[in-house]
Amino acid sequence: MKVVKFGGSSMADAGQYRKIREILLADPDRKVVIVSAAGKRYSGDHKLTDLLYLCYSHVKYGVDCSRIFKMIMSRYLDIQSDLDLDLNLEPELKALKKRIDAKEVSREELVSRGEYFSAKLMAAYLGFQFIDAADWVKFNMDGTVNQEESYNALRGRVTPGAGAVIPGFYGAMPDGTIHTFSRGGSDITGSLAAAALDADVYENWTDVSGILMADPRIVDDPQAIPEVTYDELRELSYSGAQVLHEDSIFPVREKNIPVNIRNTNDPQAPGTMIKENFEGDHDPDRFITGITGKKDFSIISLSKRGMSNQVGVLYKVLKVLVRHKISVDYVPNGIDNVSVVLPTRAIEKELYTIMAEIKQEAEPDTLEVHHNIAVVAAVGRKMAFRPGISGKIFAALGESGINIRMINQGPDELNIIFGVDNKDFEAAIKVLYNSFVTK
Ligand code: ASP
């Protein structure tokens, strides 16, 4: 059995609903369907969830939201009439509007209606059972999900072998009121449903053919990653584009259920498979799984003669940063010097105080700060214990005249991280991609 989740762009109009039906018909194991609210049909269009948030803000400040609500209504009623459904959502939408005007609808309940109405339409179109997320996704008072209770509730509602459609993004608090996940949270609902039902795979359908090896704004037409482990994904999503909501990994990972990222607009593409690990090497020539990075880091460097024989210099530096609640990304060091690498925006406001405190605590001989550093990470599980990869990386960068400001490798050898000047960021990513990815 497969649990399948369709994101906003897959739910944007009647044409997309038809594609989804074809996808489900192509594989009878695709039985439990999680849906997002309608997304953008074209660039410049509005996401339904955004319109709902906007509607709530209007009402909150006493401004009439009828025009926005009309847009919301027509998005759904257009799909309903295009698909010629028996269902008529109009009375329910109008009743909601009345409650909004009477200020009876909370912000979270209102924004959750995007997924709710999507699921109602999709269930009617497919002839599947509608299962409300509020009836099984149970939140604790602290906003975490009560997994056991939720899983049991869903198992009690799904008829084995029959199809079901579930709205993503929300659930119920212990008192029954609606609570939503953070934005993009329908991914979490899908993951919880897959875990509850012990699915063989959790398919997450979106509008890209998988997770890309590099940012397509930097590299032309980058290849999709066929296979990635959860650990690699974590390294990649630290900076790269987020295809999946970060919290959606946990429920499926606990149960060892693979996640398959697929493209509703290109259903033949195999997409990206995410698993704990992969048996066998399906692509022995591919050492790097993906390349990612972020700009705008700063390096605080200090040197102190005889530092390697002194206890606690690094501790004193970190103590200052802890006091300012600043977390450090990397700590490259030499014999008598050490630096800390951290996002510039984290220290910007308090930089002079921080520098003064480090000077006082650690009493360095020199203390400097350098800004405009970009961090690039080459990620790949197959780099571990394989000589020559970092040699190849640094040779390629050297040949292109890119100066490396910092080098760091995690102890698990899952990544090689290096710092370059901000201005070299895009070039560094391109050089790496072109030297490791053979078309
Ligand atoms: N509709 C919600 C959002 O736009 C949740 C989702 O699509 O996953 O964030």
- The rounded Å distance from CA 322 to ligand 1 centre is 35
% of the chain surpassing 70 pLDDT: 99
Q: What pLDDT, on the 0 to 100 scale, is given for residue 137?
A: 98
| pLDDT tens per residue across span 86-97 | 999 999 999 999
* Cβ(8) – ligand 1 distance below 6 Å: yes
- The rounded Å distance from CA 160 to ligand 1 centre is 28
Question: Which of 3.30.479.30, 3.40.1160.10, 3.40.30.10, 3.40.190.10 would CATH assign to domain 2-207?
Answer: 3.40.1160.10
Query: 0.85 exceeded by the pTM?
Result: yes
Q: What pLDDT, on the 0 to 100 scale, is given for residue 259?
A: 97
Sequence ranges of the chain with CATH classification 3.30.2130.10: 290-436
15-29, 50-64, 307-321: range with lowest mean pLDDT: 307-321
In angstroms, how far is CA 81 from the centroid of its own chain?
Answer: 34
Average pLDDT, the chain: 94
Determine which residue's CA is closest to atom 5 belonging to ligand 1: 184
DSSP codes of every residue in 396-411: HHHHTTPPP-EEEE-T
Atom number, ligand 1, closest to the C-alpha of residue 186? 8
Sequence ranges of the chain with CATH classification 3.40.1160.10: 2-207
| pLDDT tens per residue across span 157-181 | 999 989 999 999 999 999 999 999 9
Atom number, ligand 1, closest to the C-alpha of residue 8? 7
End-to-end CA distance of the chain: 35
* Cβ(169) – ligand 1 distance below 6 Å: yes
Token pair for residue 242?
Answer: 């987020």
Q: What is the CATH number of domain 290-436?
A: 3.30.2130.10
Task: Report the residue among 36, 111, 246 best suited for mutation to probe ligand 1: largest number of ligand atoms under 8 A from its CB.
Answer: 36
d(CA 170, CA 112) in angstroms, rounded, equals 6
Positive or negative, the Cα torsion across 132, 135, 141, 142? negative
| pLDDT tens per residue across span 389-424 | 888 889 999 999 999 999 988 778 888 999 999 999
How many CB atoms sit inside 10 A of residue 102's CB?
A: 9
Q: What is the 3-state secondary structure (H, E, C) of 316-367?
A: HHHHHHHHCCCCCCECCECCCEEEEEEEHHHHCCCHHHHHHHHHHHHCCCEE
